[in-house]
Amino acid sequence: PHLTESYGSSQDPPEKETPSCTVKSFPNAINHTIEWSRKQFENLFIKPAQAVNTYLSEPNYLESSLKYSGSSKEQIEQIVSYLVTDKPLTFEECIIWARLQFERDYNNEIRQLLFSLPKDAVTTSGQPFWSGPKRAPDPLVFNSSDPTHLEYVIAAANLHAFNYGLKGERDAAIFRKVADSVIVPEFMPRSGVQIQVNENEPVAQADDGADEIEDLKLKLPSPSSLAGYRLTPVEFEKDDDTNFHIDFITAASNLRAMNYKIEPASRHTTKQIAGKIIPAIATTTSLVTGLVCLELYKIIDGKNKLEEFRNGFINLALPFFGFSEPIAAAKKKYGSTEWTLWDRFEFANDPTLNDIIAWFKSNHNLEITMVSQGVSMLWSSFVGKKKSEERLPMKFSKLVEHVSRKAIPPHVKQLVVEIMVSDEDGEDVEVPFLVVQI
């Protein structure tokens, strides 16, 4: 502390990303289908519920937020679907939704792809399009006797029910009975659908017709008519085997693999890839723990010179053991004051935002322009006069609860706060985080 840079001061090289067109239309490895299913998990059980809640809680959400989005029609359709047309009242309706979702993702979408790019399609050079890493898919026909088909419906229905606070079910016979009775609408592939063939091509954007958007808006209930109503977004947790998260991702990925004749993966392998689990061997873990404790002894012993500490680099497979002097914490400056990542401004007794702003002005001649805590922007110099008059006199803990709409847990005694400030010349200045005791 106060000597070296932290573990977070340096960054690992970025992971190699799979091109979006490969994940979306041309997977050729199980990693691609797992990545696709992970995105489906977010697109079905996290983002729609968040969008619905934002619509219900933020005034003028459609006008202020969606006008800056390139896919406003798609977003409004999603809110209409989750709040009106496909809003389930019973768990049986969740099963029907899951069965139709299966049809869309593993049959209709594949038929549309093959309509746009038939199996006998050729490139501009006359070569078969479906060759090399590009595998021509086949649509799946739902069969409730197929374990993977049924596992998908069970997991998807339960997660959909979780979004709406409905009680789930695990009896396979119930799912089989309902899924087999669903009347699936006839699907006709559409002409003119553009498929992104390589990552250098622009992603095809849907035509957001103004009239269609207005028609969709008319279908939405006003937020005031659903005061207090909220959906519950799923929070991905890979280590709970009862929450259907890994069950859904495994089934969704393996169904996608069946489409493209890719070898399916076990639940364990899927969990490892989807959860980005890095395998660790006990011998390495214990050695690292020992090296950390050696450095901790130095701190307890009162050592305070940089050269007395060590960074360790080890590889038991070689074996290799290397030690070096750590890098000093980078120094930054505001005015004539130097600081490092270890420094903090501390405020006691749950001050108001006004108190904090005045303290910075009088003690450092710095003007606060923005205050944020966690993911919540608490105040900024460009918010309206009414919001400023409401928030500036608030005790800090009350302000955080007011903006985040969440109670601060009883065990939390302090809040880490980030601020943006400018000096007397109007130039932005970087300063340490604030720690506010509440």
Active site residues: 21
Distance, CA of 266 to CA of 251 (rounded, Å) = 10
Distance, CA of 47 to CA of 74 (rounded, Å) = 12
Q: By C-alpha distance, which of 393, 397, 392, 401 is closest to 415?
A: 397
Q: How large is the angle between the packed helices 72-80 and 47-57, nearest 10 degrees?
A: 90
Distance, CA of 15 to CA of 356 (rounded, Å) = 40
- 319 preceded by a cis bond (ω within 30 of 0): yes
Q: Would you say 24 and 36 are in contact if contact means Cβ atoms under 8 Å apart?
A: yes
- 3 state SS of 367: strand
Calculate the CA dihedral of residues 97, 101, 107, 110 and round it to 10 degrees: 160
92 burial via Cβ count (<10 Å: 0-12, 13-18, 19+): middle
DSSP annotation of 152 reads H
251 burial via Cβ count (<10 Å: 0-12, 13-18, 19+): buried
Task: Find where tokens 């993702």 sit.
Answer: 105
- 3 state SS of 325: coil
Q: Would you say 60 and 242 are in contact if contact means Cβ atoms under 8 Å apart?
A: no
Tally Cβ neighbours within 10 Å of residue 119.
Answer: 11
DSSP annotation of 262 reads P
